[in-house]
């Protein structure tokens, strides 16, 4: 099930394709809503970083169309446009190795019209980062915190974060979540995060976009997703009737006459099973990893 957005999307992809010698992304069709947090979830190598790079014009678009902040993405988009977007890449930029966090700030302050020294220094302090230290001399987590501070300090309209918590300790992780909530507070900012951390998805996401082998497996409203996807244990059931359960995503026999089934229409499925006279022994919300596995299995069957 893919959602229909009521508001104007901040990112709109129509059959967008990008590729390099090793990987093909797309064709992708999806709309990312403005003023919301969309989290991109997918296994390693599914194309999350490639998607971010493509949106920033760092990988060429080879087919289809992409619109970002109301502008059609093409080579003609200038630097002014790019200053409206913040991107935290997965790996640090080697050309910044010789800079201190203060120097990085000086560089960013010239580039971004929305730059705030006050915000930057406050964030560095909160994250306990020494602004006078060279980025290359910092620990991985310290450098990540400096980079997060910089990307938040220019208050972009659209913020793209690629695995932002990579290397952060639990205290820094909590601060990051607080700061991302603060960034979203005014209501006119949009956050897109790629992450493997389930807890981050649960705490941050309004929407979840699943990516697999360069293709989207659908975009879902988070609360509805966790409400509707359930594992049901059912006894005294007949396989042929179970196979007709509304929203059935997977089934396996867990014992004689006992089935463990996965559904994405929890209520309808339960009333169907009850209506068939089967005994429902248990119903459990599915974890994100299990939902992703289901979606991947279905995609593999379709291919
Ligand atoms: N099966 C594979 N084995 C090795 N590399 C792969 C495979 N599939 C994809 N890749 C690599 O993944 C790259 C695209 O992945 P990208 O970095 O965009 O994914 P990602 O979803 O961000 O991954 P990760 O979660 O690992 O950061 C391709 O350039 C390709 O080199």
- Return the DSSP state at 107: H
Contact 295, 286 (CB under 8 A): no
Query: At residue 4, does pLDDT exceed 70?
Result: no
What's the gap in Å between 143 CA and the centre of ligand 1? 23
The pLDDT tens digits for 124-144 are 999 999 999 999 999 999 999
The pLDDT of residue 3 is above 80: no
Q: Whose CA is nearest to atom 6 of ligand 1?
A: 45
Alpha-carbon distance values, 99 to 27, 102, 106, 147, 199 (Å): 39, 8, 10, 12, 33
Token pair listed for 57: 């014009």
Q: Give the rounded percent of residues in the chain with a pLDDT score beyond 90.
A: 87
pLDDT in tens, 173-201: 999 999 999 999 999 999 999 999 999 99
pLDDT of 63 strictly over 90: yes
Closest C-alpha residue for ligand 1 atom 24: 44
User: Residue 206 has what pLDDT?
Assistant: 98
How much is the pLDDT for 303?
Answer: 81
Residue of 24, 43, 45 to test ligand 1 pocket, by largest number of atoms within 8 Å of CB: 45
Question: Can you tell me the mean pLDDT for 225-232?
Answer: 97
**Ramachandran category for residue 238: left, alpha or beta (phi over 0 → left; psi -120 to 50 → alpha):** beta
Q: Are 160 and 56 in contact (CB under 8 A)?
A: yes
What pLDDT does 94 receive? 92
Q: How far is the CA of 45 from the centre of ligand 1 (A)?
A: 2
- Average pLDDT over all residues of the chain: 94
Q: Which has more pLDDT, 93 or 103? A: 103
Atom of ligand 1 nearest to the CA of 46: 21
Between residues 3 and 169, the one the model is more confident about: 169
Asked whether 137 and 98 are in contact (CB, 8 A), the reply is: no
Length of the chain: 303
Handedness of CA 145, 150, 153, 154 (dihedral sign): negative
Pocket test for ligand 1, best of 40, 44, 214, 215 (most atoms within 8 A of CB): 44
pLDDT tens, position by position, 32-53 = 999 999 999 999 999 999 999 9
Contact residues of ligand 1, CB 6 A cut-off: 22-23, 42, 44-50, 90
Nearest residue by C-alpha to atom 4 in ligand 1: 45
Helices (H) and strands (E) in the chain, counts: 11, 14
Contacts of residue 1, defined as CB under 8 A and 6 or more positions apart, other chains included, come to: 218, 220, 264
Model confidence pLDDT, tens digit, residues 230-275: 999 999 878 899 999 999 999 999 988 899 999 999 999 999 999 9
Q: Residue 61 — very low, low, confident or very high, per pLDDT cuts 50/70/90?
A: very high
Task: State how far the Cα of 111 lies from the Cα of 108, in Å rounded to an integer.
Answer: 5
Domains parsed from the chain with CATH numbers: 9-225 (3.40.50.300), 230-285 (3.30.70)
Distance in angstroms (rounded) separating the CA atoms of residues 151 and 144: 11
């Amino acid at each position: 099930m893919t959602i229909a957005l009521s508001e104007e999307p901040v990112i709109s992809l129509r059959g967008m394709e990008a590729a390099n010698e090793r990987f093909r992304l797309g064709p992708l069709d999806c709309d990312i809503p403005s003023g919301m947090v969309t989290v991109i979830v997918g296994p390693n190598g599914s194309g999350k970083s490639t998607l971010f790079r493509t949106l920033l014009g760092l990988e060429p678009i080879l087919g289809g169309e992409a619109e970002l902040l109301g502008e059609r993405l093409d080579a003609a988009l200038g630097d002014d446009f790019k200053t409206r977007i913040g991107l935290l890449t997965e790996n640090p930029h080697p050309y910044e190795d010789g800079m201190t966090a203060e120097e990085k700030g000086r560089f960013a302050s010239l580039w971004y019209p929305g730059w705030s020294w006050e915000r930057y220094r406050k964030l560095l302090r909160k994250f306990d980062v020494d602004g006078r230290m060279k980025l290359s001399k910092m620990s991985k987590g310290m450098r990540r915190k400096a980079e997060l501070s910089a990307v938040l300090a220019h208050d972009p309209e659209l913020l793209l974060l690629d695995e932002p918590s990579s290397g952060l300790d639990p205290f820094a992780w909590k601060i990051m979540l607080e700061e991302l909530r603060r960034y979203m507070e005014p209501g006119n900012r949009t956050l897109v995060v790629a992450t493997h951390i389930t807890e981050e998805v649960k705490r941050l996401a309004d929407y979840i976009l699943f990516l697999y082998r360069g293709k989207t497996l659908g975009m879902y409203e988070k609360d509805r997703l966790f409400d509707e996807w359930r594992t049901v244990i059912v006894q005294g059931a007949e396989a042929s009737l179970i196979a007709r359960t509304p929203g059935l995503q997977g089934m396996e026999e867990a014992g004689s006459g006992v089935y463990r089934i996965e559904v994405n229409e929890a209520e309808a499925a339960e009333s169907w099973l009850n209506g068939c006279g089967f005994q429902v022994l248990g119903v459990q919300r599915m974890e994100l990893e299990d939902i992703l596995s289901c979606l991947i299995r279905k995609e593999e069957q379709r291919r």
